[in-house]
């Protein structure tokens, strides 16, 4: 009996000791967090100055596209050296080589053929946004092996091989919820366990960082050495999409009658497929300019400009009116008819003072009785330059490919201004040499 009591006493002491150890451990962790937080610079990223502005950041990218991170460095006036870059699209290579200082030996056309071991210790910042197709074994091991056959696996392999001080992995917002979160669990675990990096991730919207475009993307940042990091806080949007438009527009960007009816359809507006004269642009996509999806601009005819004689559709204001209010060609001809030999009627439209509105006007179209307005304006799509501006690329970016290729490249890019906010928040120069 005494032995049992003694055993209980020993167990009680042990339990109390373990409890106190846990409390002390938790207190230590809390203290470490508090101490680290005190050392963080909590000033707005817009006010942050780079600590080592004369250093050179050794930059590497894959799935490089048209070089959003490179353009961010250019806009910030920072020194950077391109260690390697690459993209499988030859037209992206054409745009990239026209705008950045790079040689053939530093370019890869296919990430599968890139041996990054030779760059180990030579990369300060590695950036890319691998297309993340479904993983073959998601939810089983939740690690590197689950990613085989995917481009993300190649991105992680390059991180492992070249060991950058910091990497930025960008992707679509939906990646977080894909396969009930299992896909992201695999990605995160791969970065942490296989690559050995401390990971932070957050969804950022470009409209929160100076660009009037609703574009949400996940930005995952990995640190080789343990680092406390807070994502840049949103700032007030000061511009509208109209601030990014060009003054002179080539007539080829204006839509034909069929396109106008599509983009002004109420159904497409409700589903956010199309938008006319929006303050904040819809998210740019690779193929939006070829299926009439996305943003469009309404241009009134100038005072000294004649309406386009090839398109004189009778409609209400295209910004507010559904497709059903357009008059068909047959009805328009009827309305414009001045009458017969024995009966004449006025066919005036756009009257300064409207004719009396009748309760029966919904039943038929009657020239000289009902009111009609003519559409003397035009609807056009965004130009390639405007698309680039809405991705944060200044007009110094050289366009050397076709409109088709440029639309695709802009829609696939990362918004430069979001990257600028991240670079300032990171104080990226402290990782330079």
pLDDT, one tens digit per residue, over 199-208 is 999 999 999 9
Identify whether the C-beta of residue 324 lies closer than 8 Å to the C-beta of residue 283: no
337-371 pLDDT, tens digit each: 666 556 566 666 545 554 445 444 445 555 555 55
In a domain, 378, yes or no: no
In a domain, 301, yes or no: no
In a domain, 205, yes or no: yes
User: Exactly one of 74, 92, 132, 387 is catalytic; which is it?
Assistant: 132
In this structure, of 69-83, 140-154, 236-250, 315-329, the range with the lowest mean pLDDT score is: 315-329
194-233 pLDDT, tens digit each: 999 999 999 999 999 999 999 999 999 999 999 999 999 9
In a domain, 309, yes or no: no
Total domains present in the chain: 1
User: What average pLDDT does the chain have?
Assistant: 80
Burial class (CB in 10 A: 0-12, 13-18, 19+), 113: exposed
In a domain, 180, yes or no: yes
- What is the secondary structure of 345-410 as a DSSP string? -----S-SSPPPP-TTTTT---TTTS-------EEEEPPHHHHHHTTT--TTS---S-HHHHHHHH
Look up residue 98 and give its two tokens. Answer: 């026209």
In a domain, 203, yes or no: yes
Read off the pLDDT of each residue in 414-423 and give the average, rounded to a whole number: 97
pLDDT at position 5: 56
Res 13 pLDDT > 60: no
What CATH number does the domain containing 227 carry?
Answer: 3.40.50.150
Res 148 pLDDT > 70: no
Higher confidence at residue 158 or residue 43? Answer: 158
Read off the pLDDT of each residue in 43-47 and give the average, rounded to a whole number: 88
Task: Quote the domain boundaries for residue 228.
Answer: 45-238+396-431
Does 132 participate in catalysis according to the annotation?
yes
In a domain, 168, yes or no: yes
Res 401 pLDDT > 60: yes
In a domain, 214, yes or no: yes
């Amino acid at each position: 009996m005494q032995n049992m009591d003694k055993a209980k006493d020993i167990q009680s002491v042990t339990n109390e000791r373990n409890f106190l150890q846990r409390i002390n451990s938790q207190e230590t962790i809390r203290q470490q967090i508090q101490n680290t937080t005190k050392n963080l610079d909590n000033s707005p990223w817009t006010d942050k100055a780079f600590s080592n502005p004369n250093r050179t950041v050794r930059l590497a990218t894959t799935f490089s596209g048209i070089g959003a991170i490179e353009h961010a460095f250019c806009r910030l006036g920072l020194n950077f050296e391109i260690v390697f870059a690459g993209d499988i699209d030859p037209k992206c290579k054409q745009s990239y080589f026209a705008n950045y200082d790079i040689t053939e030996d530093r370019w890869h056309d296919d990430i599968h053929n890139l041996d990054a071991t030779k760059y180990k210790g030579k990369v300060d910042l590695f950036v890319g946004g691998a297309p993340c197709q479904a993983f073959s074994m998601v939810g089983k091991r939740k690690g590197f092996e689950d990613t085989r056959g995917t481009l993300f696996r190649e991105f992680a392999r390059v991180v492992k091989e070249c060991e950058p001080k910091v990497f930025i992995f960008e992707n679509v917002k939906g990646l977080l919820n894909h396969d009930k979160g299992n896909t992201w669990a695999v990605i995160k675990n791969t970065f942490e366990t296989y690559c050995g990096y401390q990971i932070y991730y957050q969804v950022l919207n470009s409209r929160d960082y100076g660009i009037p475009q609703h574009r949400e993307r996940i930005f995952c940042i990995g640190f080789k050495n343990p680092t406390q990091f807070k994502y840049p806080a949103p700032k007030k949007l000061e511009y509208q999409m109209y601030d990014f438009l060009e003054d002179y527009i080539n007539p080829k960007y204006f839509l034909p009658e069929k396109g106008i009816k599509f983009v002004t359809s109420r159904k497409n507006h409700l589903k956010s497929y199309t938008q006319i004269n929006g303050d904040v642009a819809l998210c740019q996509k690779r193929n939006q300019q070829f299926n009439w999806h996305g943003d469009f601009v309404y241009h009134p005819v100038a005072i000294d400009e004649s309406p386009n004689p090839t398109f004189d559709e009778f409609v209400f204001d295209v910004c507010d009116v559904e497709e059903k209010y357009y008059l068909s060609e047959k009805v328009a001809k009827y309305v414009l008819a001045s009458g017969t030999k024995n009966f004449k009627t006025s066919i005036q439209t756009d009257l300064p003072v409207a004719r009396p509105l009748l309760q029966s006007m919904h039943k038929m179209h009657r020239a000289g009785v009902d009111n009609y307005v003519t559409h003397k304006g035009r609807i056009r799509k965004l130009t390639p330059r405007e698309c680039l501006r809405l991705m944060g690329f200044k007009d110094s970016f050289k366009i050397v490919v076709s409109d088709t290729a440029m639309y695709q490249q802009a829609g696939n890019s990362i918004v430069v201004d979001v990257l600028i906010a991240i670079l300032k928040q990171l104080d990226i120069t402290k990782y330079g040499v």
